[in-house]
Amino acid sequence: MRISEIKRKTAETDILLNLNLDGSGKSEINSGCGFLDHMLTLFAKHARFDLILSCKGDTCVDDHHTVEDIGIALGQAFDEAIGDKKGVERYASTILPMDEALILSAVDLSGRGWLEYSLEIPAFKVGTFDTELVQEFFIAFTRNAKITLHIKRLSGTNSHHIIEGTFKSVARTLKQAVKVDENYKDEIPSTKGVL
């Protein structure tokens, strides 16, 4: 099984994260940030990853450190769990509708951290959550997961729908990219021989 446990403790956050890429979508999320809990719960469900996360962060300041550090920890767990990437599909993309919002995500498990981000979220906040933190989360995640990720809003006016559609789209894209093709399970999907 492709699993990982990450412990990350700084002066700003204390995180314990368990990730199973071959799970069933179960999750136990307690980030200290309700909106992020909601996004990560649906992320796990749509990716079919099992995710257990607890975080004690300095949310008395704001949610920035918590969101960014969870992105770092999730990225590190993903990178560790995926291992040498033998047999994985590597590339995947999803166009996901959520009411008026339409989100495109595409990934390459390239070994190189890169985020191309074009969401244009209209509101500055959804509830108490700063919407600019969506980009911070995905920057931290892609750098540490060592993947190339493109996210684009094709349409949408409701900020909650845009963000939720994004987490669902990325989750479904990652689900396809990490899938092992049994016909090529002992091969690295690269002419370089390494990812």
For residue 14, the domain's CATH number is 3.30.230.40
Q: How confident is the model at residue 195 (pLDDT cuts 50, 70, 90)?
A: confident
127 within some domain: yes
Q: Is the pLDDT of residue 193 over 80?
A: no
| pLDDT, tens digit (0-9, with 9 covering 90-100), for 95-125 | 999 999 999 999 999 999 999 999 999 999 9
Cα(76)–Cα(4) distance, integer angstroms = 9
25 within some domain: yes
Position 60 scores a pLDDT of 86
Report how far apart the first and last C-alpha atoms of the chain are (Å, whole number). Answer: 19
Q: Is the pLDDT of residue 64 over 80?
A: yes
Q: How confident is the model at residue 58 (pLDDT cuts 50, 70, 90)?
A: very high
Domain count within the chain? 1
Task: List the beta bridge partners of residue 101.
Answer: 98
8 within some domain: yes
Q: Is the pLDDT of residue 128 over 80?
A: yes
Cα(17)–Cα(51) distance, integer angstroms = 7
175 within some domain: yes
- The three-class DSSP label of residue 22 is coil
**Got the DSSP string for 136-193?**
HHHHHHHHHHT-EEEEEEEE---HHHHHHHHHHHHHHHHHHHT-B-GGGTTS-SSTTS
70 within some domain: yes
Global pTM reads 0.96
For 85, 87, 88, 167, 180, the CA distances from 184, given in Å and listed in that order, are: 11, 5, 8, 29, 8
Q: Is the pLDDT of residue 21 over 80?
A: yes
Average pLDDT value for residue range 87-93? 97
Average pLDDT value for residue range 28-35? 97
Mean pLDDT of the chain: 96
- Pairing mode, strands 50-57 and 27-30: parallel
Torsion of CA 79, 83, 89, 94, to 10 degrees: -20
192 within some domain: no
163 within some domain: yes
Cα-to-chain-centroid distance, residue 52? 14
The helix or strand, by DSSP H or E, that contains position 76, with its residue range, turns out to be helix 64-82
Q: Is the pLDDT of residue 78 over 80?
A: yes
Segments forming the whole domain that contains residue 81: 3-184
Q: Is the pLDDT of residue 6 over 80?
A: yes
CB atoms within 10 A of CB 93: 15
Cα-to-chain-centroid distance, residue 112? 15
195 within some domain: no
